[in-house]
Structure 1
């Protein structure tokens, strides 16, 4: 354990950040799972809304440095790709 006051403070700060980042990442994973589930079930309106929510959460987390920007873009791209393929199937 740290002995200096500054080291103790840095440890407290890193714990706070870790807890916050874990909560954000967890909610992102939940949003992505929800979007994937809606897409696979073929619910167009729900899938569109859950995709929008997941995309917003990923963008926000990336801008704050919780997840890498490229990883966020990749996740959004993959979700959008699945959504677009689902919409093409329903139109046919």
Structure 2
């Protein structure tokens, strides 16, 4: 347990950041799930719209430090490929 005032303050700050990051991660997952559901539902128009909505959200997660850049790029790339494959 933190004993020094500095360590106690850092613990409080980490607690607040953790809540914010959880909310951001949850929001990103919700957007990703919408794309997944549209793909499994077979609705290409909805999947394409959901993909357009998820891209800025995922990249915002990168800029906020919630996701790694390569992870975000990989997720978007794979989703794009799946949406594109629906057209064929």
Question: TM-score w.r.t. structure 2 length?
Answer: 0.90
Structure 1 position 20, deviation (Å): 1.0
Note the 1:73-88 alignment, pairs <5 A.
73-88=73-88
Structure 1 position 72, deviation (Å): 0.6
Measured against aligned partners, the alpha-carbon deviations of 1:1-40 in whole angstroms (never above 9, x if no partner) come to: 2122111111111111111111111111111111011122
In structure 2, the residue matched to 1:13 is: 13
Q: Distance in 2 between the 1:18 and 1:87 partners? A: 40
- Once superposed, which parts of structure 1, at least 4 consecutive aligned residues long, lie more than 6 Å away? none
In structure 1, the residue matched to 2:28 is: 28
Structure 1 position 64, deviation (Å): 1.4
Question: TM-score w.r.t. structure 1 length?
Answer: 0.87
In structure 2, the residue matched to 1:61 is: 61
RMSD after superposition? 1.2
Structure 1 position 54, deviation (Å): 1.3
Measured against aligned partners, the alpha-carbon deviations of 1:45-67 in whole angstroms (never above 9, x if no partner) come to: 32122111111111000111111
How many residues were matched structurally?
A: 88
Q: Distance in 1 between the 2:56 and 2:45 partners? A: 17
